[in-house]
């Protein structure tokens, strides 16, 4: 399916022959600002090149899909505590290095703005407009006690690893980020 | 080569046409509990979907294959020291975030149990029963001075990067975790 | 070195039929010594097996391509500051774990030398001789204010995400490291 176009050795631009679109699948495991930027640059560039892109958010990556406002969520005392520390929302993401109590992260955001790189909030909206599918991992949501109402609108339904694998094995590009 | 079986557009479940099974190859570089969980969920789900799964453990990922009990290993003073700090064994794995002197990691293990997510020890046994191949990287073992007797039973032979690449280039899904 | 130069004669099927070479594409996002070693072992082993390998360096991975000597770079006060902290050059890379003020990193370098694993400087030269393409990500360079003169010689031109995706979708093996 996804491989069909490569049967020809030339790898002609897939826009010439309409169906099917080439697929890209990204597992977004990390919830750090730098990795989130990388994931969204790849996803939106892929979509702009005509690919059918699915982002599968798991573990700390779920933070990216959480609302900037609202309760931290989680059922029971310990999950509440974990989710409070691990609050999420695009504006709370930190650099994996040089966070420095917010200074490094703030500088990076400033550099991004100066270079016209969208913020994560803007990237999510762009991706949604471009038809990028963004699905939260159901197992992670279960373990962390995260319910759908903690996520922003327009996000896909929760899906499990079998869904991811089915997408991935039809994809030309699959990355674990 | 790897694409040959998918030349047919239907992409029927590979159980229908016996040979060859679709392959999945995972490089497990990280030795953190959260990444190990992700790797084993993907590997065992892939195997349950009929894929031929190989996990190639390298660097800190080797800790996952180490026994919970027994000596830390390593030849020479400095390797002994490094292996003592980097002891490994599934029960010693820590979260990449919020470890908090064991409290966060312990909470995560509890959440996993409540959600019927297997422990890493259980995942390794499941994976072995499902025929998932688990190979330690020979170069990493050499550099860290880790000998085979530090690993639990039922693990595959040490293999090098050429082995991994050969698996990966025939795989429908390859991830670096 | 281990696997890098050892082209086992039996697995050379793709040399038999001349064109086209199988491709491998690596995104090198991390700038840590251990991940850089993994990336170069995979890249040089792939090249020695006859693959056409492209390494796409982004974010902290750009540090690997920086010169060991020379100015830290960056335009404006804040970028200068960020680049000074995030200086880069292969000899400055640190382990992701157990760096311990240089002791763990120094030990790892010693272990590598004893096991005849090349240093990162040597790996870069090997990779260049083997025809591995090494491209800096243009977006990251822009955001961090990194100009080409901070990189060592022989590095490819800056390229964007679209370039990476085009390589990746023709590749048999694509990893995000």
What domains appear along chain A, each with residue ranges and CATH number? 22-176 (3.40.1260.10)
> What pLDDT shows up at residue B75?
78
> What pLDDT shows up at residue C2?
46
Task: Please determine, for residue B1, whether its predicted confidence score (pLDDT) is greater than 50.
Answer: no
Task: Please determine, for residue B27, whether its predicted confidence score (pLDDT) is greater than 60.
Answer: yes
> What pLDDT shows up at residue C15?
53
Name residues 7-36 of chain C within 8 A of B (Cβ). 8, 11, 13-14, 22, 24, 34-35
> What pLDDT shows up at residue B35?
95
CB atoms within 10 A of CB A119: 17
Task: Please determine, for residue C88, whether its predicted confidence score (pLDDT) is greater than 60.
Answer: yes
Q: Under an 8 A CB cutoff, do C145 and A104 touch?
A: no
Q: Which residues of chain B neighbour A9 with C-beta distances below 8 Å?
A: none
C104: closest chain B residue by CA: B82
Model pTM score: 0.86
β partners of residue C57: C28, C136
ipTM, interface predicted TM-score of the complex = 0.84
Task: Please determine, for residue C86, whether its predicted confidence score (pLDDT) is greater than 50.
Answer: yes
B170: closest chain A residue by CA: A169
Q: Residue A28 contacts by C-beta under 8 Å, 6 or more apart in sequence?
A: A35, A36, A39, A55, A56, A57, A58, A61, A64, A177
Closest Cα in chain C, distance from residue B175 (Å): 6
> What pLDDT shows up at residue C85?
78
Arithmetic mean of pLDDT, B26-42: 95
Q: Which residues of chain C neighbour B138 with C-beta distances below 8 Å?
A: 2-3
Inter-CA distances, C50 with B62, B145, C171, Å = 28, 30, 13
Closest Cα in chain B, distance from residue C75 (Å): 33
Closest CA to B6 of B20, A11, C25: B20
Q: Which residues of chain A neighbour C166 with C-beta distances below 8 Å?
A: 49
Lowest-confidence pick of A48-52, C40-44, C156-160: C156-160
Give the integer Cα–Cα distance in Å for A167 and B12.
14
pLDDT (tens digit per residue) in B63-106: 999 999 877 777 778 788 778 878 888 988 988 887 767 778 88
Q: Higher confidence at residue B15 or residue A86? A: A86
> What pLDDT shows up at residue B15?
53
> What pLDDT shows up at residue A171?
97
Q: How many CB pairs under 8 A join A and B?
A: 81
Lowest-confidence pick of A16-30, B69-83, B112-126, C7-21: C7-21
> What pLDDT shows up at residue A144?
86
Instruction: Give every residue of chain A whose pLDDT is below 50, as ranges.
Output: 1-8
Q: Could you tell me if C75 lies within 8 Å of chain A, comparing CB atoms?
A: no
pLDDT (tens digit per residue) in C55-80: 999 999 999 999 998 777 777 787 88
Task: Please determine, for residue C141, whether its predicted confidence score (pLDDT) is greater than 60.
Answer: yes
Q: C-alpha B137: how far from its chain's center?
A: 11
Closest CA to B53 of B141, B156, B140: B156
pLDDT, averaged across chain B: 87
Q: Which residues of chain C neighbour A177 with C-beta distances below 8 Å?
A: 29, 176
Q: Under an 8 A CB cutoff, do B7 and A3 touch?
A: yes
Quote the tokens at residue B36: 């190990």
Task: Please determine, for residue C175, whether its predicted confidence score (pLDDT) is greater than 80.
Answer: yes
């Amino acid at each position: 399916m996804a491989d069909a176009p490569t049967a020809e050795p030339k790898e002609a631009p897939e826009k010439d022959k309409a169906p099917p679109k080439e697929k890209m699948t990204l597992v977004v495991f990390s919830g750090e600002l730098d990795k989130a930027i990388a994931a969204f640059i790849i996803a939106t560039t892929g979509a702009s090149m005509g690919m059918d892109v699915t982002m599968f958010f798991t573990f700390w990556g779920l933070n990216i899909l959480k609302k900037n406002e609202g309760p931290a969520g989680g059922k029971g005392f310990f999950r509440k505590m974990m989710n409070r520390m691990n609050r999420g929302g695009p504006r709370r993401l930190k650099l994996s290095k040089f966070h420095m109590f917010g200074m490094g992260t703030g500088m990076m955001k400033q550099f991004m703005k100066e270079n016209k790189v969208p913020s994560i909030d803007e990237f999510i909206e762009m991706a949604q407009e471009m038809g990028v599918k963004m699905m939260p991992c159901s197992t992670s949501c279960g373990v962390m006690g995260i319910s759908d109402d903690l996520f922003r609108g327009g996000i896909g339904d929760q899906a499990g690893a079998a869904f991811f694998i089915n997408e991935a094995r039809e994809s030309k590009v699959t990355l674990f980020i």
